[in-house]
Copies of this chain bind each other. A is one copy, B any other.
């Protein structure tokens, strides 16, 4: 059973939390706790022995913690997600395969794409695919169609698996800390379009990928995971693209699996990841 808590810090929080648990004979297997002393915030994630008294424990924890504490006792362990894609298959396929074999930690409800190219792979895995064209329409209408489609499903997160289009502030505002993007560079280097071309022009010796929550500021949202991989003078831009896809896939899945396991907290445009 997992418990996550986020609240203003004060002396005695761990004592209060652990007393509630001990009183119900619940044992703490692993506890990760962090206090952001600069902002006076308390974050904790506990793996504890199972209990049938989930709502009692949750209520009691809330009653002993500060008023605005965010407490989750046994948050839904199997999350539901919607995946947005464009033309590139690598991140999507990795998600579909893991989903198919029940190792993703989440259920893919559907895939939405602005091209038809990835419809086939979704069909092979019996995942609904919704083609929403961004051409011959304006951005507002395009996004409204996405929202209409999304709202037919129950979901916890929207995953931009190389969606390659910038979502408007209005769209993003509906889903605070619910949209995860994979950016194909080591942010904040190479913000924006064609990061591998930028990287090649600069002559870097490493390229990177960054999984982050989407906010209104392009490529500026809270970072969940990052990774780099070596390149050298023999890499043309397209070699960097190919090599980069390997780490894009790896970083996105790493971020998602932390997220699905309730290991990620957000504050002050940063993340706490207890992994």
Chain A interface residues toward B at CB < 8 A: 9-19, 21-22, 25-37, 89, 93-94, 97, 100-101, 103, 121, 124-125, 186-190, 202-206, 208, 222-228, 232-234, 242, 246, 250, 269-273
Which B residues are in CB contact (< 8 Å) with A202?
187-188, 223
A-B contact pairs, 22 of them (CB 8 A): A9-B27, A11-B27, A14-B28, A15-B18, A15-B19, A29-B37, A30-B35, A31-B31, A31-B32, A31-B33, A186-B206, A187-B189, A187-B202, A187-B204, A188-B189, A188-B190, A203-B270, A205-B226, A206-B226, A208-B228, A233-B271, A250-B250
Q: Tell me if A204 and B223 are in contact (CB < 8 A).
A: yes
Beyond the given pairs A14-B21, A27-B35, 10 more chain A to chain B contacts, judged by CB atoms under 8 angstroms and listed by A's residue number, are A11-B25, A11-B27, A14-B22, A29-B35, A30-B234, A89-B101, A93-B101, A103-B242, A187-B204, A204-B226
A177 CB to closest chain B CB (Å) equals 14
Given A26-B11, A89-B101: A228 and B203 interface contact (C-beta under 8 Å): no
A interface secondary structure, majority: mixed
A101 to B13, CA, bound (A): 39
Please determine whether B203 and A223 come into contact, CB atoms closer than 8 angstroms: yes
Q: How far is the CA of A21 from the CA of B18 in the complex (A)?
A: 13
Closest Cβ–Cβ distance, residue A221 to chain B (whole Å): 10
| A12 cross-chain contacts in B, Cβ below 8 A | 18, 22, 27
Q: List chain B residues, Cβ under 8 A from A234.
A: 30, 34
A246 to B226, CA, bound (A): 16
| Closest B residue to A96 using CB positions | B97
Nearest opposing residue in chain B for A242, CB measure: B103
Report A262 CB to chain B, min CB distance, Å. 15
Q: How far is it, in angstroms, between the C-alpha of A16 and the C-alpha of B188 when the chains are bound?
A: 44
Report the separation of the CA atoms of residues A27 and B15 in the bound assembly, to the nearest whole angstrom.
Answer: 10
Which residue from chain B places its CB closest to the CB of A275 in the assembled complex? B232
Quick check: A33 and B37 within 8 Å, CB to CB? Answer: no
Q: What CA separation (Å) do A273 and B29 show in the bound complex?
A: 16
> How far does the alpha carbon of A222 sit from the alpha carbon of B234 in the complex, in Å?
15
Which residue of chain B has the shortest Cβ distance to A43 in the bound complex? B233
Q: A206 contacts which chain B residues (CB < 8 A)? A: 186, 208, 226-228
